[in-house]
Chains A and B, each alone.
Chain A
Amino acid sequence: MKLNKIKQEVFSCLSKSSNKRGEILVENVLFIVLNIIFISILIFFLFKQGSGAILLEQTYSKQIALMIDSAKPVMEIKLNMEKAREIAEENKMDFGEAVSITGNVVNVKLSQKGGHEYSFFNDVKVEAFPEKNEQNEYTGIYIFTINKNEGGK
């Protein structure tokens, strides 16, 4: 009888201590997992901010406007817009319509709601179109042709 009691007590003590150890481990694992999730969200946020459509629209519109400003007729300029193509495809936009030039205003649109426009002062006629490969796919390069503005303002 006594022996049985002792056995029971020892067993209950052992199971209690093993439970405690288990709790500590679960707490630590949960803590580490939460930390990893937190850092991952932070890194994802940073990358998302750095390659967002709004930022790229602004960058490309200004870059194109400055490029046209320093160009002279007759020139053909190729601009690598691979990042813009990726973003446009993500947002289900046609890359062929990402850049439009009306008068002396460059408009870059990579999302349905977005779009950024910037004006240039060089009085030239500019045409912009995307480059395509043999499979009729966009290569991510935009071609700008600069000609004399015959109409002239």
Chain B
Amino acid sequence: MKNKIKRINKRGAEKILSIYWFAILIIIAGAIVAMVSLFYGTPYDVRETEANIMINQVSDCLSDNGKLAQELFNETKNFNENFNLKEECNFVFETEFKNERGEYFLEVDFYDLDNEKIFSISEGNSNLYADCKIEDDKYKRLSKCVEREFYSLSPLSDKNVFKIKITSVIRKTEKNVK
């Protein structure tokens, strides 16, 4: 009689154990599905790469063999105020699809060796520049800002050296951030 009860208890315990086992499996499956969906549901953020490519294009267009482009200077050997960054560097910032307006901002600052800003040119949606100044993590995802600098000689005189700081800002939040 005792043995019979023991056997029944054992089988009952096994059944309960297998129910728990399946409950655990379902919880694990749910967690994996949630994690995978979250991982693959988040779009790839390529804005930093894009901003870096843009800076490379700008630096290639402004400086050749370590010397600034002639077009940057006018007849009076000063910086050309009418220099069109978008046209000279072959950029197109307008897109014809789905509410995409003013997704880019580009600024190039020229400094002398005393670190004094002597000239600046910019192109695109200047409102985006404000996003770069936000330090709060909650709003950091609005736009991606990349800043890089390089040195170059003046094409007019080898004695003039400039520090060129390029700031590239890309929004495209809808396509890159969830």
Q: Which residues of A contact B (CB under 8 A)?
A: 27, 31, 34-35, 38, 42, 45-46, 49-50, 52, 55, 58-59, 62, 65-66, 69-70, 102-105, 117-119, 121-124, 149, 152-153
Contact = CB atoms under 8 A, between A and B. Distances in A.
Interface in B25-80: 25, 29, 32-33, 36-37, 40, 43-44, 46, 49-50, 53-54, 56-57
B50 A69 contact: yes
Interface residues on B, range: 20 to 34
Interface centre among A34, A105, A117, A121 (most CB of B within 10 A): A121
Contacts, number: 72
B82 interface: no
A31 B19 CA distance: 11
A146 B46 CA distance: 21
Interface string B90-111: 1111111110100110000000
A31 to B, nearest CB: 6
7 contacts: A34-B22, A58-B43, A69-B57, A103-B96, A104-B92, A121-B91, A153-B92
Contact of B175 (A27, A118, A149): A118
